[in-house]
Amino acid sequence: MRFEGVFAALTTPFAPDGAISLPKLGENIGRYNRTGLRGYVVTGSTGESVLLSFGEIDRIWSTAREFAAPGRLLIAGAGVDSTSETIARARRAAGLGYDAVLIKTPHYFKPLLTPTALEQHYIAVADASPLPVLIYSIPQYTGISITVDWVARLAEHPNIVGMKDSSGNVQLVSEIIHLCRPDFNVLTGSSGTLFYALLSGGAGGILALACFLPEAAVELYEAVRAGDTARASRLQFTLLSASRKIAGELGPTGVKYAMDCVGYYGGNPRPPLLPLTEEQKRTVEAVLAESMARQKVDHLGVAG
Amino acid sequence: MRFEGVFAALTTPFAPDGAISLPKLGENIGRYNRTGLRGYVVTGSTGESVLLSFGEIDRIWSTAREFAAPGRLLIAGAGVDSTSETIARARRAAGLGYDAVLIKTPHYFKPLLTPTALEQHYIAVADASPLPVLIYSIPQYTGISITVDWVARLAEHPNIVGMKDSSGNVQLVSEIIHLCRPDFNVLTGSSGTLFYALLSGGAGGILALACFLPEAAVELYEAVRAGDTARASRLQFTLLSASRKIAGELGPTGVKYAMDCVGYYGGNPRPPLLPLTEEQKRTVEAVLAESMARQKVDHLGVAG
Amino acid sequence: MRFEGVFAALTTPFAPDGAISLPKLGENIGRYNRTGLRGYVVTGSTGESVLLSFGEIDRIWSTAREFAAPGRLLIAGAGVDSTSETIARARRAAGLGYDAVLIKTPHYFKPLLTPTALEQHYIAVADASPLPVLIYSIPQYTGISITVDWVARLAEHPNIVGMKDSSGNVQLVSEIIHLCRPDFNVLTGSSGTLFYALLSGGAGGILALACFLPEAAVELYEAVRAGDTARASRLQFTLLSASRKIAGELGPTGVKYAMDCVGYYGGNPRPPLLPLTEEQKRTVEAVLAESMARQKVDHLGVAG
Amino acid sequence: MRFEGVFAALTTPFAPDGAISLPKLGENIGRYNRTGLRGYVVTGSTGESVLLSFGEIDRIWSTAREFAAPGRLLIAGAGVDSTSETIARARRAAGLGYDAVLIKTPHYFKPLLTPTALEQHYIAVADASPLPVLIYSIPQYTGISITVDWVARLAEHPNIVGMKDSSGNVQLVSEIIHLCRPDFNVLTGSSGTLFYALLSGGAGGILALACFLPEAAVELYEAVRAGDTARASRLQFTLLSASRKIAGELGPTGVKYAMDCVGYYGGNPRPPLLPLTEEQKRTVEAVLAESMARQKVDHLGVAG
């Protein structure tokens, strides 16, 4: 199975009292089902997974499974620091009918998490997981960086089928693509470099930005697939600010507010994440307005 | 209540099958009860808390409560990324009769965890916690650094009674001690700077090294309290290598092997932490031998 | 004047006694004159400028001026920590008939070099320099990172005509290109991302790799300009390892040995830079062989 | 020869037109001669050496030599990135009758400056220098960190007689002191940890703070030497804020303004360093006032 296309890294909606809101999650997914998104990552970083109990995660996974349209791929954010707990979560995701698990690099004991320790973690998880494994690297949150050679070794495991790289390091992504087997799915988590990752032969993107601009991300993907590099480049341009200033600098909190702005349910994050300040809200609104204005110009240009 | 003296940051013993071994924990605590340790931190970083489920943590807390001798202070490592989950854990520790909670800085969403966000986390926890709160900063694992002024603001909260600083930054510790109220308990988590922290007016230490060299750490503490600076300085010297090469560079894994070497039950860590290599074991043994030889010389010198 | 195309970041040849070898420099430039390189940067980072006296730099600049073929653009690496010394060097470069100066971010007093301090440095230099100024950011050496907004402010100065970015951050480069005026020349210093920088609208590259693989870099540039994205992508692929493993990880030392391998004069770097070990030499040879084999395949494929 | 006591890391005075002001340097030294300072470091980091030409440095060295009172030790900040240039400067300092050279770690080519490369640099300099060599580590400016074992290896060289550590890492300093030969002079560059470094057996300090609070630093040194730990601890307390907020956070610029405040000639730094803002000046004034008030209290307490 290939993991190609644009996936949304779903947010986790909370009700005003702080409890998870499964109905709002279902509504959001219902709307995403009408876009060209290839599937969904549930309880990844954008889903505030580190702020959820496993009981909550289980209910979120079930709900997403229920609401995702047939044919949409479902990927469970199942990686935690503990190897055995990661395996337990992967098994649960398999039981719920997910298509793959996304396994974040363990990161707490940084000086002890050598390449060898990390490699053995992934091998143990991949050996035990009933579902295919995608490696997940997000050094801006974990403080753990990976190398081309390290990924290439893991890509030889039959149950490690790809990776999500959120570092935004285009050269790293390119080298991984060229060094690993052709069906190793390299997905970027950095919407500001989606165009470049696709041109390098990347399989697609798992994007927080796709929570609030799903169509734009899908259009970019399809433009590259159609060989329309010039258009894809223009579309990438329309996403640069939103990528950096919303998904990057404001994280799940910014993504949720942007969702509220465009008609999805965003809501507040869980503490210790703070709601946006009024100034931050104005920034999100301005970035969205500019991004959508540019997309409209591009569409008109294409039409005309 | 004051938190003064040397506390051991307890390891979590695992049986060969990977399950937590409550009997071994009880045995270790039984032995520590015969030392001059002031108390125990249960499920801190050295306790591999990030690799434990809350169900396991609950049983560990209960066992430690059962085996700790009367008068020993018990501090629960209760901090996780989520504010509400941290509060829930603090309440459970209170229910079990603990004396305080040690609350690690949240750290996953680094760019979003501004000083304000971190401050609001601690205030929310301190407001809700039935137990007094100790702030816990360990930037080498979390990637989050704190400042003097930030601590000083939090030290005004009546339920925030102290902190554990594991950065090893002596000037930071000194400034915090001098800037905060006199009964704010500043404990170091860095056994290589215990002497200096105490000379600055620090309340004591919460030390992984105290798992395998409890008497040496207590002697150093008592030498400072007795005004015997020269002896304290010599004792600090005997601990420098063990601090850096075992507790620092090898973390819980090294601490556990050192415990095995001196008669406690250490055992293996949980994956993804790897057991020590043979070479690492030789290093631990050599460091321990040198440290104990130096302590013996010091004792003979004092006796003679 | 536009700074478009591929520029070589020239090395500084040393004789076996450690003195600069102007004849070897002249010979190298003579050969480069027969390639499609647009010009040369003299005494940049790859030129080991921090290991040269200004007297030596002056003679190197004169020699490069003498040997560069007419029409090749000459850019002087003129930036040092001191603003006034940077200006003095820019004036000297102007006196020698150079086309522009490349001005590295000052970096020694890191905590004091705020965006404002750095901005005032560039404005002072640009105001006083008779030559157009290119900003030069290379955080892996300087520890100083820049932002899109900071560059955009400086790009409004009429004498700041572009920048060289060696961070390899493709999103940063893209945003700068889109935010700055159309004739602001954004050149990448990262040969592993040349393709992507050009697709974003970048003006070209100033590359250490062009010292030993000038034709390959120029071909990539021309393929993008000709709209042959597929071929450019393949050519980029042939350069990834050489970019990372030679220019990146081995710096000027690796570049010089690679030059020796392909018929230029490389020679040894100045201490404290060490000559390559035998193992490092084998790595360079293997990377070069693989890179050239891939280029040959590509040429045959195109021919056939 | 031993390098024990408190040394001032002298600033370089500039006239309003930006030229070095040798008369003001002479006046400052004349005043320092009346304090208990053991000697002076000339053209170190605080002397803005990276912003000076070697011609200027030569004149500064000559002037300092001329004005330093007999018996004061003179140490020349002679380290630059180039090994051969460092040697040339060390020879010049010897010709001028200096007592030692302070050799900063080379730092520009960070990924290439392995422990081995740095070690060979120091050995080459120590072999060739007519003057004894002090290693100088200041990672906050250079980005280069050193280890205990690395220093211990270099301390075996007969012409490497000590080091200045400005990292403020007290455990590192302690370990170096205990691991190196007894006459290896370990001096701290961190005035906020002087007390702790001395208690560990350190030889003294080379301090920017001694430019504006020379007596206080000397008193602290003498209190430790006299065995009056309690008084030394109180004196250290009076210096903590000045150390961090002036010498640390504001660097040479803050030190110069503090000198102006207490009657020395400070003046402005060279661009790109900016003069203090009005708010920063108020901070310096407040810190100085508080520091001197505390010292007065301490003196009265001792007197009474």
Q: Quick check: D298 pLDDT over 90? A: no
Task: With beta carbons under 8 A apart, name residues in chain D contacting B229.
Answer: 199, 229
Q: Quick check: A302 pLDDT over 70? A: no
Instruction: Judge contact between B101 and B131, C-beta under 8 A.
Output: yes
Give the separation between CA A224 and CA A230, rounded to whole angstroms: 9
Of B81, B118, B273, the CB nearest to A50: B81
Of B18, B85, B249, the CB nearest to A111: B249
Q: Which residues are within 8 A (CB) of D300 and not within 5 positions of it... i.e. 6 or more apart?
A: none
CB contact under 8 A, B169 and D168: yes
CB contact under 8 A, D196 and B240: no
Give the separation between CA C255 and CA C269, rounded to whole angstroms: 10
Q: Which two tokens stand for residue D131?
A: 């003057």
Give the separation between CA C131 and CA C99, rounded to whole angstroms: 6
Which of A201, A136, A204 minimizes the C-alpha distance to A165?
Answer: A136
As beta bridge partners, residue C303 has none
Give the largest CA-CA distance in chain A.
58
Rounded to the nearest integer, the mean pLDDT of chain C is: 96
Tally A–C CB contacts below 8 A: 63
Give the separation between CA C119 and CA C103, rounded to whole angstroms: 12
Task: With beta carbons under 8 A apart, name residues in chain D contacting C120.
Answer: 271-272, 274
Residue ranges of chain B whose pLDDT lies below 50: 303-304
- D145 CB-side CA count, 13 A: 8
Q: What is the mean pLDDT of residues C40-63?
A: 98
Task: With beta carbons under 8 A apart, name residues in chain C contacting A196.
Answer: 170, 196, 199
Of C175, C193, C201, the CB nearest to A170: C193
pLDDT at B304: 39
Complex ipTM value: 0.96
Percentages (nearest 5) of helix, strand, coil residues in chain A = 55, 15, 35
Which candidate in C179, C198, C199, C224 is best for mutational testing of the A interface (most A CBs within 10 A)?
C199
As beta bridge partners, residue A77 has A102
- Please count the other Cβ atoms lying within 10 Å of the Cβ belonging to residue C153: 16
CB contact under 8 A, A111 and B251: yes
Give the separation between CA A57 and CA D228, rounded to whole angstroms: 60
Which of D174, D90, D172 minimizes the C-alpha distance to D134?
Answer: D90
Residue type at position B29: I
Instruction: Judge contact between C227 and C244, C-beta under 8 A.
Output: no
Which of A24, A32, A14 minimizes the C-alpha distance to A68?
Answer: A32
pLDDT at C304: 39
3-state DSSP call for residue B69? coil
For residue C123, give the H/E element and its range.
helix C115-128
pLDDT tens-digit readout, C237-256: 999 999 999 999 999 999 99
Distance from first CA to last CA of chain B, Å, rounded?
39
Calculate how close chain C gets to D118, using CA atoms only, in Å.
7
Give the separation between CA B211 and CA B31, rounded to whole angstroms: 10
Instruction: Judge contact between B190 and B208, C-beta under 8 A.
Output: no
Query: Measuring CA to CA, how many Å separate C184 from each of B64, C152, C173, D100?
Result: 66, 10, 12, 49
Q: What is the mean pLDDT of residues A247-275?
A: 98
As beta bridge partners, residue A9 has A41
- Which residue of the set C24, C104, C164, C245 is catalytic? C164
Give the separation between CA B238 and CA D178, rounded to whole angstroms: 10
Whether the bond between A272 and the residue before it is cis, its omega within 30 degrees of 0, is yes
pLDDT tens-digit readout, C18-35: 999 999 999 999 999 999
DSSP line for A185-222: EEEES-GGGHHHHHHTT--EEEESGGGT-HHHHHHHHH
> What ranges in B144-250 are assigned the alpha helix state H?
148-154, 170-179, 194-199, 214-225, 229-241
For residue B164, indicate whether it is catalytic: yes
Which chains does chain D touch, 3 or more C-beta pairs < 8 A? Answer: B, C
Measure the CA angle with vertex D51, ends D48 and D57; round to 5°. 75
Give the sign of the dihedral formed by CA C151, CA C154, CA C157, CA C159.
Answer: negative
Q: What is the mean pLDDT of residues A122-128?
A: 98
Give the sign of the dihedral formed by CA B15, CA B58, CA A60, CA A214.
Answer: negative
Q: What is the mean pLDDT of residues D235-244?
A: 96
Above pLDDT 70, what percent of chain B?
A: 99
pLDDT at D297: 80
Whose tokens are 């602290």? That residue is: D220
pLDDT tens-digit readout, D30-77: 999 999 999 999 999 999 999 999 999 999 999 999 999 999 999 999
- Which residue of the set A164, A256, A281, A296 is catalytic? A164
Residue type at position B144: I
Q: Quick check: A303 pLDDT over 50? A: no
pLDDT at A304: 39
pLDDT tens-digit readout, D178-235: 999 999 999 999 999 999 999 999 999 999 999 999 999 999 999 999 999 999 999 9
Please report, to the nearest 10 degrees, the dihedral formed by the alpha carbons of residues A166, A160, C238, C75 taken in order.
20
Which of C129, C122, C93, C130 minimizes the C-alpha distance to C106?
Answer: C122
Which of B89, B85, B87, B81 minimizes the C-alpha distance to B105?
Answer: B81
pLDDT tens-digit readout, A181-202: 999 999 999 999 999 999 999 9
Task: With beta carbons under 8 A apart, name residues in chain D contacting C112.
Answer: 250-251, 253, 273-274
Q: Which residues are within 8 A (CB) of D255 and not within 5 positions of it... i.e. 6 or more apart?
A: D11, D46, D208, D209, D211, D212, D246, D247, D266
CB contact under 8 A, C18 and D84: yes
Calculate how close chain A gets to C69, using CA atoms only, in Å.
33
Which candidate in D48, D49, D51 is best for mutational testing of the C interface (most C CBs within 10 A)?
D51
Above pLDDT 70, what percent of chain A?
A: 99
- Please count the other Cβ atoms lying within 10 Å of the Cβ belonging to residue C14: 21
D267: left (phi over 0), alpha (psi -120 to 50) or beta: left
Query: Measuring CA to CA, how many Å separate A1 from each of A133, A137, A217, B94, B102?
Result: 12, 21, 22, 50, 46
Rounded to the nearest integer, the mean pLDDT of chain A is: 96
Q: Quick check: D303 pLDDT over 60? A: no
Instruction: Judge contact between D37 and D64, C-beta under 8 A.
Output: no
